[in-house]
Structure 1
């Protein structure tokens, strides 16, 4: 009897040592620390990933180009970046797909020092403009906007890869560049400093697949269950944000702990005003604009049909 009792104690100890439920760790690579990642944080805070048996590890990159390079190399599972990169992956034969759409509107604006004489992109002709990285959404956007003016991005401007957030602010404020591209919440943080910045060109009301969960075909085929679980969790988070503003605000507070309450409220309001996808499905109109911008910026680019980009087979039914 004593032997049986001892065996039960040992067995019980082994059970206690095991995790209550094993979770699959997925690495998400973010193009930058921006509002596009907020739905993922909501999913994490509300236990939606945990309910699907998932654990998210978020890695920040200095722009979409290095993030998608990590995706193509298999260093991360999912890229939080513009659908541009899914198109580029298709061109490279890697079968890029949008698993879940996070944002339906563009997220960037060109900002310059408040004392700058430039009041438009045209006024910056002949000067240096900062982007996050070559091949990123900022690069495509700037080249598109310059060509729409009838100018040449390589001859009429000097485009420099700077990075995001702090490095971009340092470059603009030191005069290393005449202006730079910023996204939410950096735009709001800059505007909260009266007399320091002004917007020269604003792309934020443009329909655009600016933030999405981008994956490769190879990853989808190897991890179909995880892909469906991610889609379920993030779509639930996006729908929750539509009905519960406090859930979005809590995510803003956690992601940007240095923001004061007024700035948190401003970012929350701006993000909730049509920026995020309401249901996680890639908006055809946003994708149409994306293809238009990409082909104007790079006429040699192959146009990839909408149906070849969306991963609807993994979308929650």
Structure 2
């Protein structure tokens, strides 16, 4: 089956009459939307800690930095699950696709709006971005909609500033250093790298619950494990084992220091700058869920943001109860 791609909100849509799944070999393949990103750290950490094997699972982790491709793999049935942002479940429901988050990793986005050091005297808040160029990972991405929402809170329309897709990691850093953007939204460890070199300063911090509530008005569940509802209905025992593995991983994160967690990660994740990785992880620890449950009122906050600027969701009826379930994490406890 060749899926038809719709690169909206970093999500693709496989337009098929019914879900198609690869032959059930007993292996569960999980596509991660950028496996080295700290927002998705629980995926690799679970593997490193041996929790999949403890549950008797044969799990393969794949990394696909482009969200559009990760979603396409899931919708085409080539992988059984995706580790990505929960908001995709809402966006896809608007297109008639039933996707459910079964474990929430991040109770907040883990995103940071950074201001270029050369612009920090003129940009003190999102109210000051009129006429400025703002960096996002891609047009129609989560960062794009969050940026629009934060600016709108200060009375600015999207016509009053420019948005430039600059990607993440090294391409985002280059955009700041080359002064192609006045401010931009990114995650760890990119944020800590720019803060350490003094090339940027924090404008809006959504790595903590306090900062997220101040910026968005409530908890904003983000990184999560989600699957097609059709797969879930036929594989509840496997879903339960995955939930147990990830709930144990989240408990490990919440009971160990950033340095201890770093020791469990592959060395190529931090290269020759282990101290910076530890610092970036320390900054990220507040974003991780303690138990994998969907935060109370979190889905409503996400829907509010998407309804404001995502053309797929705006004006549509979304049944939030179908976008996630706490069933498996509750049983995992």
TM-score by length of 2: 0.79
Write the distance in 2 (CA, Å) between the matches of 1:74 and 1:26: 10
Write the distance in 1 (CA, Å) between the matches of 2:262 and 2:35: 19
For structure 1, list consecutive stretches of 5 or more residues without a partner in the other structure: 1-21
Cα drift, residue 31 of structure 1: 4.8
Write the distance in 2 (CA, Å) between the matches of 1:181 and 1:190: 12
Figure out how many residues of one structure are paired with residues of the other and give that number.
292
Are the equivalent residues in 1 in contact too, given 2:246–2:292 (CA < 8 A)?
Answer: yes
Cα drift, residue 259 of structure 1: 5.6
Are the equivalent residues in 2 in contact too, given 1:41–1:251 (CA < 8 A)?
Answer: no
Aligned to 2:167: 163
Q: How does 1:14-93 map to 2 (within 5 A)?
A: 24-31=27-34, 33-52=36-55, 53-62=57-66, 64-93=67-96
Write the distance in 2 (CA, Å) between the matches of 1:57 and 1:82: 17
Are the equivalent residues in 2 in contact too, given 1:241–1:247 (CA < 8 A)?
Answer: no
Write the distance in 2 (CA, Å) between the matches of 1:216 and 1:88: 14
Write the distance in 2 (CA, Å) between the matches of 1:255 and 1:309: 35
Aligned to 2:17: none
Q: Does 1:141 align with 2:146?
A: yes
Which range moved further: 83-92 or 296-305? 296-305
Aligned to 1:304: 318
Are the equivalent residues in 1 in contact too, given 2:30–2:80 (CA < 8 A)?
Answer: yes
Q: How does 1:1-317 map to 2 (within 5 A)?
A: 24-31=27-34, 33-52=36-55, 53-62=57-66, 64-116=67-119, 117-153=122-158, 155-194=159-198, 196-204=199-207, 205-206=211-212, 207-245=219-257, 247-251=260-264, 254=267, 256-258=269-271, 260-272=273-285, 274-298=286-310, 300-302=314-316, 304-315=318-329, 317=331
Aligned to 1:19: none
Are the equivalent residues in 1 in contact too, given 2:32–2:40 (CA < 8 A)?
Answer: no
Which range moved further: 25-34 or 131-140? 25-34
RMSD between superposed Cα atoms in Å: 2.4
Write the distance in 2 (CA, Å) between the matches of 1:121 and 1:65: 28
User: Tell me, what secondary structure is at the counterpart of 1:184?
Assistant: coil
Cα drift, residue 100 of structure 1: 0.5
After superposition, what is the alpha-carbon deviation per residue over 1:126-170, rounded to whole angstroms, capped at 9, x for unaligned?
Answer: 2322211233221221111122122211x1122232221111112
Write the distance in 1 (CA, Å) between the matches of 2:264 and 2:287: 15
Cα drift, residue 48 of structure 1: 0.5
For structure 2, list consecutive stretches of 5 or more residues without a partner in the other structure: 1-24, 213-218
Cα drift, residue 180 of structure 1: 1.9
Write the distance in 2 (CA, Å) between the matches of 1:31 and 1:219: 23
Cα drift, residue 36 of structure 1: 2.1
Write the distance in 2 (CA, Å) between the matches of 1:31 and 1:297: 25
Are the equivalent residues in 2 in contact too, given 1:130–1:161 (CA < 8 A)?
Answer: yes
Decide which structure has the larger Cα Rg and report it: 1
TM-score by length of 1: 0.82
User: Tell me, what secondary structure is at the counterpart of 1:129?
Assistant: strand
Aligned to 1:15: none
Write the distance in 2 (CA, Å) between the matches of 1:34 and 1:27: 15
Write the distance in 2 (CA, Å) between the matches of 1:48 and 1:37: 16
